[in-house]
Structure 1
């Protein structure tokens, strides 16, 4: 793509970054999200064989400030290092922790949960396996009574409620998406198996070695370090999970344009889906409303809680790099981390943002490591659940902790695995093509598992491979 064409394409939005030769259609699809698909602020990164081939960002990191202002969480243009809460795209990194513990011999995925958490076997859950939890087959998608935000963040109330209640179906026989309870279940398992909160384990064993800007819990104001709420007061403080100031986008609900028929997405959801989300007594609503009222995801206490199922904060660049490390070794950052022939997305004269993006890409910490062994990779993405989902009310596919490519959650190819985030974020890997993708947005639309914005960029990427 010539610099002149790149500049002309930016009339509607100031898209920054760069793409490798042959990936120009992905950049065009990303820009089109701002023009016609309601995007207001986002970033997109694609790795191929461990190297960045697409690295784009644009729009605003504060799409809809309220009357109280942005509370210091960001305003103005989205920058190369802007991070955002990725909602259920958090589930992929959280699930990876359990796979890595299994890989190290510290956690058996075929063991009953009660092996690590004795209180959990109450009310017929003595045979509920760790595997069932990861595959959304445990029968605990909703709580008998919703938690307040304060209870949800305390690290104790969620696990305690789940330990006490009975499953809604015999574990292992059916599946239904666990929007919130998944995070409490995984968090407690990691705490019991390792003595460390999931967020701390991820920071120390994954994020820090790979140089990832992914956090389960930001520092509380004035502390300089993340504090896992379930730690006893006498525990030593957790290591810093993030720098004192994170360039953080502010999530905001925005209108959702109707997708065109050409987008390949259903313009209107099935009637059964609409009715399930509209009925407060339905399992769907009870699962998604396990925290009530809905917490303010931009509030410091929510950002500090680091809920494993919905509260991770990440940049697109790091989330894509994480998935690249699951499927293969990361190359030395000093050896062309951006594929040869990469061109600026906004052309010459685009200002300091584009140059800053290129400098940052070339300074990414080298690793040479891969996170998953081939056996663990196969384990993570082997189908465990498929067919009617009792919560999502569509057909869904899950591996162990990861969603798998399906019509209701489209990724790159049948072998792709990862996780969308309700509202628009998406991150996944496709081992067969050696590709990792992350789309992070602040503009929360009404999508749950499939969003027109991510669908468009993935479809463009598919045509480039």
Structure 2
């Protein structure tokens, strides 16, 4: 399978690693890889099955974009991390959620992972509807006492706080403050005129175990909270392939973009480019990249690695700095910023992973190659 695109001098090994991965995975229907170094695009690659300008559903990579906006609002003093969610959104106080702070919400400690019966694909696409149904609902654990991944709803929850505090939707503010100024191909609400650039996700052939999981049964070795939080009664592949999902831009998993757009968003966060400075101050990065709690995630069963809205990417990839931050997507995509190396990384692909997991395995080697090259040429 051929690789298209360019790399800057010193990053030839990244292209070789990408080519090697595609040789091992000849059925890959299309992947993109991009990276910035100190605000300069140094890797811009794509395989057969996609073009440079192709856009696809990025699932939870979306959460990184949503929570970059939240970080900006905290930096501006519009939101306060240790203020209760209910002080912004009074209806959320029901069923014992009244003392939960915004900090705890961003660390996935609300327990408000879903509602009885789950959400349909149409409902999940609508953040306002999701928030309205979650507000009066009893949480799945006592808020603030434990953490568990709010896979399909966290963006609706934080988005409602943004709306109540500013009078503007998270999607509107992301477009105004982040996407448009930097010209990013990462959308929370894809304009209809860009639909011709969208390429659908393609399923790998699922095993019987995987089919059972996506029929709403718990995955082997996982608690029911996993199926509840991921809303596995909804076909997640169909979810991002729906025009309604792309149009509304659910802040949990409805984003649409390219690897270049993902990497560019993280470059904007820490370095800036195109005549614009970095979005985040060092003290904001420090606040939002500090792991909040230690222990086991009640939903995933894994050791927790959440900071505030972002994952602490250095725990996933030990070759990154301690303040690296980002978010993977269930289809295998990944995005992160590593202030220590100056790298901003983006990876998207059309092949969905089964069972659901964040960040496809090839990211380990691709990201390592990017960071190694960056440290050599910087």
Cα separation, 2, equivalents of 1:293 and 1:85? 14
Q: Alpha-carbon deviation of 1:35?
A: 1.5
Distance in 1 (alpha carbons) for counterparts of 2:353 and 2:48: 15
Q: 2:35 touches 2:344 (CA, 8 Å); kept in 1? A: yes
3-state SS, counterpart of residue 95 of structure 2: coil
* TM-score using structure 1 length: 0.73
Deviation at 1:373, TM superposition (A): 1.2
Q: 1:326 aligns with which of 269, 292, 295?
A: 269
Conserved in 2, the CA contact under 8 Å of 1:39 and 1:453? no
Q: TM-score, normalised by structure 2?
A: 0.89
Aligned residue for 1:10?
Answer: none
For residue 338 of structure 1, what is the aligned residue in structure 2?
none
Corresponding residue number in structure 1 for 2:296: 388
**CA distance, structure 2, for counterparts of residue 291 and residue 156 of structure 1:** 21
Quick one: structure 1 residues 280 and 435, their matched pair in 2 at CA, closer, same or farther if it must change by over 3 Å? closer
| Alignment: residue pair count | 362
Q: Is residue 2:3 matched to residue 1:15?
A: yes
**1:451 aligned residue:** 360
User: Does residue 332 of structure 2 align to residue 424 of structure 1?
Assistant: yes
- Structure 1 pair 143–290 and aligned structure 2 pair: CA distance change class (3 A): farther
Answer whether contact 1:280 1:286 (CA < 8 A) is retained: no
- 1:214–1:319: 8 Å Cα contact kept in structure 2? yes
- Residues 1:178 and 2:167 aligned together: no
How far apart, CA to CA, are the structure 2 residues paired with 1:391 and 1:164?
Answer: 21
Aligned partner (choices 21, 26, 31) of residue 14 of structure 2: 26
Aligned residue for 1:159, secondary structure, equals helix
Q: Does 1:50 align with 2:22?
A: no
Seen in structure 2, the aligned counterparts of structure 1 residues 154 and 463 have a Cα distance that, compared at 3 Å, is closer
Residue 304 of structure 1, CA deviation: 1.2
Q: How does 1:101-250 map to 2 (within 5 A)?
A: 101-219=73-191, 243-250=193-200
Aligned: 1:282 with 2:224: yes
Cα offset, 1:398, TM superposition: 0.8
Mapped contact 2:321–2:339 kept (Cα < 8 A): no
How many Å separate the matches in 2 of 1:200 and 1:399? 24
Encode CA deviations 1:387-414: one digit per residue, 9 max, x unaligned: 3111111112111000113665767344
CA–CA distance in structure 1, aligned partners of residues 317 and 358 of structure 2: 5
SS state at 1:252 partner = coil
Determine which structure has the larger helix proportion and give its number: 2
- Partner of 1:397, secondary structure, is coil
1:40 aligned to 29, 33, 56, which one?
29
Whole-Å Cα distance in 2 between the matches of residues 162 and 16 of structure 1?
A: 45
More off after superposition, 300-309 vs 426-435: 300-309
Matched, 1:296 2:239: yes
* Residue 374 in structure 1 maps to residue 346 in structure 2: no
Per-residue deviation, 1:173: 2.4
* Equivalent residues of 1:83, 1:246 under 8 A apart: no
In structure 1, distance between residues paired with 2:337 and 2:94: 37
Q: Which runs of 5+ in 1 are unaligned?
A: 1-12, 61-77, 221-242, 258-274, 331-365
C-alpha distance in 2 between matches for 1:95 and 1:119 = 22
| 1:169 positional shift | 2.5
Q: Distance in 2 between matches of 1:460 and 1:293?
A: 34
Q: Report matched runs for 1:57-68 at 5 Å.
A: 57-60=46-49
Q: Contact between 1:327 and 1:431, CA under 8 Å: does it hold in 2? A: yes
SS of 1:164's equivalent? coil
Q: What CA RMSD, in Å, does the superposition of the two structures yield over aligned residues?
A: 2.3
1:173–1:155 Cα change, 3 Å: closer
Structure 1 residues 117 and 89, CA, compared in 2 at 3 Å: closer, same or farther?
same
Provide the residue aligned with 1:261 in structure 2: none
Given the superposition, is the C-alpha separation of residues 378 and 414 from structure 1 closer, same or farther in structure 2, using an over 3 Å criterion? closer
The whole-number CA distance in structure 1 between the counterparts of 2:13 and 2:198 is: 28
Q: Aligned partners of 2:139 and 2:41: how far apart in 1?
A: 44
**Per-residue deviation at 1:427?**
0.2
